[in-house]
Amino acid sequence: MTSSPLDRLLRPQTIAVFGGREARRVIEQCDRMGFAGEIWPVHPKSDEVLGRPCYRSLSDLPRAPDATFVGVNRNLTVDIVRGLSRAGAGGAVCYASGFSEATAELADGAELQQALVAAAGDMPILGPNCYGLINGLDGALLWPDQHGMKRIEHGVAILTQSSNIAINLTMQTRGLPIAYVVTAGNQAQTSLADVACALMDDPRVTAVGLHVEGFGDLSALERLATIAGRLKKPVVVLKVGRSAQARHAAVSHTASLAGSDAVADAVLARLGIGRVQSLPALLETLKLLHVAGPLPGHSISSMSCSGGEASLMADAAVGRKVEFPALQPQQLPRLRRALGEMVTLSNPLDYHTFAWGDFTRQTEAFSAMFAGGYALNLVVLDFPRGDRCDASEWATTADAVIAATSVTGALAGLLATLPENMPEPVADRLMANGIVAFSGIDETIAAAEVAAEIGQAWNSPPPLPLLDVAPTVGEIETLTESEAKAELAACGLPVPWGLQAFSPREAAEQAERLGFPVVLKGLGIAHKTEAGAVVLNLRSSEAVSDAAAAMACDAGYLVEKMVGPPVAELIVGATRDPVFGLSLTLGAGGIFVELLEDSVILPLPTTKTEIYSAISRLRIAKLIHGYRGRPRGDLEAAVDAVAATAEYVVTNAVRLEELDLNPLMVLPEGLGVVAVDALIRRRR
């Protein structure tokens, strides 16, 4: 195990507690879990706490404690943390609230938080405004409340900013072994990613789950992903905020597609960090990762003794990156012998009840299914109520699943469709035997998808380091379309031949120079189509002059050669996310931007291979590949154009705020692409 500045705090041998009621509870919880180290209560008036002598002050302690729970008011917290840091303590949990989370109520909240961080210096602190941590491996707690954990030998770590959510998660009865629960509160100094990196080094930790309200440090997230891949310990994230798009479309269409949540999805996927959308899905995914780690593929088998359950399983995979492949020929004879002639052999498989209660036949049937080479094999089984029913035949089925995995070496999960139908003792036994005790169909399918995506990321070449450039602070300017196209053309992006004009008459003259047909555009207008500031296919000087007069555009006009009919139209853009910085958006362009909502986000920098893969994931890719006999589009030229745009964004990352190419016209194969509209906003 490598050394980390957080080691003493997370795995203490000595614990000091400051405060009254909350400090007493910390000692109670340590005693309940059998902490073998020393605990030193500190209180100016009490003589003893739970049989332990009480020290009057920090200076009276035998030596600097490894970990300290500071359960006093916010101002005194700063003083105690300063003293602990000077004394060489290992770290502290800052329980008090009233810091940066309360700036609306307390004018000095942010200032006091800065003072707390300064007082801590190099000593790690968790919080403020947090409960602290539970180490279920060593029985060490800096935790002022009850919880549902028990001592274990190995398990997952769960980290969250929310102390209440942390308590709730410890109360799970799903069979998930939890090694650590850590809350970070305001993350004033130490972030969840910092803690996760430190916990990764504990060989007893199998996987890490994060519940986060936001990512504050992109480099820490990258470091976490690197450590996870190196140590082969997967990370899964539940990030809140899907419903609140952090950015609204200000000028470009790109901004409306690239909300912060969508960018977070893309960045996490690139880093090989899984993402789930609910607390139950987080727990189920952690169970799978604890038992098996990432999956080698997306294939699943399912068996149930009900056609209704088989249908539910199949439906749950719709829209997910998991699949139920057809049974292989060599499986069919064994399944037929075990299940009889009346069972339809398929995947998902309804095995009826002909083998129910028969351990031998069920073991043979499950073994035949598990031998199909699937990444995960599921058997759907809801246990009856133990207070009213006899579950012995259900136990037989569980025994048969355990036996089948022993024979085949395959990964299996026993899936209860309702969490209350998976008793905790059963779940514990299954997990101890390497069987994932799943609860909930949707959550299980989500877990399989996440585990497979992590596995795919780990088996791919390492991604390029993320673009992490702080923007300049100058005033934002919007280039005219002609200025924007000139910059992009210099970077290798094909644009139409065009000339500027400042009157209807001059526009007509420029059209004569270009040759008809032409396109007329009003300059200085962001969404030209919606504003009536673009007219296509003008075939005479008079038509150009009339169209320009009707626009009455003060900023002038852009006259361009008309581009031939495209095979497809793309949007290519970049926007700056407040956390993740600049990323690239690809999607169906033109009038289909909002209509189809067909887009993919690429973190930067990117490669042509990644661009090709992103375009292939778009629904509009069918047009580019030649839909129903139509001409194929120039895909290679489209990839080159997107790569050139990405290079422009990376090169100009310090100043660039927003870029929008809509549409990038993909012409028939061999004819290239043309960016017929461009917008650039940047800092002066």
Q: Residue 609: which CATH number?
A: 3.30.470.20
pLDDT at residue 146, as a whole number: 95
DSSP H helical ranges for 597-634: 608-616, 621-624
Q: How many domains does the chain have?
A: 4
- For 483-493, b/e burial (b = at least 16 CB within 10 A) is ebbebbeeeeb
pTM for the predicted model, two decimal places = 0.89
Tally of CB atoms within 10 A around 304: 23
Q: Are residues 224 and 355 in the same domain?
A: no
Q: What is the three-class DSSP state of 539?
A: coil
Q: What is the three-class DSSP state of 584?
A: strand
pLDDT in tens, 363-399: 999 999 999 999 999 999 999 999 999 999 999 999 9
Residue 231 main-chain phi, psi, to 5 deg: -90, -5
Tally of CB atoms within 10 A around 93: 29
Last residue of a domain, one of 411, 437, 459: 459
pLDDT at residue 260, as a whole number: 74
189 assigned to some structural domain: yes
Last residue of a domain, one of 276, 301, 319: 276
Using 70 as the pLDDT threshold, list the residues of the chain that sit under it.
Answer: 1-2, 216, 241-259, 526-527, 530-531, 591-596
Give the closest residue to 343 by CA, choosing from 355, 351, 331: 351
Query: With contact defined as beta carbons under 8 Å apart, do 362 and 355 qualify?
Result: yes
Q: Are residues 76 and 216 in the same domain?
A: yes
SS (H, E, C) 165-203: HHHHHHCCCCCCCEEEEEECCCCCCCCHHHHHHHHHCCC
Amino acid at 400: A
Q: Are residues 55 and 98 in the same domain?
A: yes
* CA–CA separation, 315 and 15 (whole Å): 52
Q: Are residues 362 and 237 in the same domain?
A: no
Tell me the CATH number at 125. 3.40.50.261
pLDDT in tens, 112-164: 999 999 999 999 999 999 999 999 999 999 999 999 999 999 999 999 989 99
31 assigned to some structural domain: yes
Last residue of a domain, one of 430, 459, 488: 459
pLDDT at residue 596, as a whole number: 66
678 assigned to some structural domain: yes
Query: With contact defined as beta carbons under 8 Å apart, do 127 and 95 qualify?
Result: yes
* CA–CA separation, 494 and 507 (whole Å): 23
What is each CA distance from 463 to 294, 298, 313, 606, 644, in whole angstroms?
18, 21, 34, 9, 19
Q: Are residues 428 and 299 in the same domain?
A: yes
pLDDT at residue 219, as a whole number: 86
Q: Are residues 384 and 238 in the same domain?
A: no
Q: Are residues 59 and 77 in the same domain?
A: yes
Structure tokens at 433: 């035997």
Query: With contact defined as beta carbons under 8 Å apart, do 156 and 149 qualify?
Result: no
Q: Are residues 47 and 140 in the same domain?
A: yes
* CA–CA separation, 49 and 94 (whole Å): 20
Amino acid at 445: I
* CA–CA separation, 327 and 230 (whole Å): 35
pLDDT at residue 429, as a whole number: 96
Q: Are residues 36 and 164 in the same domain?
A: yes
646 assigned to some structural domain: yes
514 assigned to some structural domain: yes
Q: Are residues 546 and 576 in the same domain?
A: no
Tell me the CATH number at 531. 3.30.1490.20
220 assigned to some structural domain: yes
- The residue range of the domain holding 513 is 497-561
491 assigned to some structural domain: no
Q: Are residues 130 and 186 in the same domain?
A: yes
Amino acid at 611: I
Residues with Cβ within 8 Å of 253's Cβ and at least 6 positions away in sequence, in order, are 527, 571, 573, 593, 594, 660, 662
Q: Are residues 608 and 555 in the same domain?
A: no
Number of residues assigned to the chain? 684
Q: Residue written as tokens 């707690």?
A: 141
* CA–CA separation, 426 and 415 (whole Å): 12
Tally of CB atoms within 10 A around 359: 15
173 assigned to some structural domain: yes
